[in-house]
Structure 1
Amino acid sequence: MATTERPRGSETAQPASRAPETGAPPVRPLWQRLTWLVVIWAASVMALGALAWGIRQFMQAAGLSTP
C-alpha cells in the first residue's frame, strides 16, 4: 500500500499572500471591523439589560421585591 506523504512544513513553504482571492469579498478596514464589534457588543449589553429589567418587573409584580 503506497502512501504519499508531504514533508513537514510544506504547508508554509509558499509565502502568505495578503491579496484577497478572486471572488472573495474585499477585506474591510480595521476601523469598520472594530465599529461592528462595538455595535454588536453594545446591542448585546442593551438586550441583557432589557431582559434583566423584564425579570425584575415580573418579580416585583409577583411580590418578590426586597424592602
Structure 2
Amino acid sequence: MEFELDEDQRLLQRLVRETVAKSRSQPADQLWATYLELGWLEAPPVELAIVLEELGYAADPTPFLATAT
C-alpha cells in the first residue's frame, strides 16, 4: 500500500520542521508551551504522525510522544 501526503499535510510537515528548527535553542518547557499553543496534541491521527515524525527527526526533548500516546 502506498501512502502519499496531500498538500495540507506537506504544509504541516514543513511548518513543524521550521518551528522546531527555529526554537531548538529554547528550554524544553518553552518548546512544550509552543507545541500546546499550536494545537499539535489535538491533531488527527495522520497529522499527529507527521508531527511525531518531525519531532523524532529533531530529537525533541519534550514529553510530546509520551503525552500524545
TM-score by length of 1: 0.29
Higher relative contact order (CA 8 A, sep 6+): 2
Which structure has the greater CA radius of gyration? 1
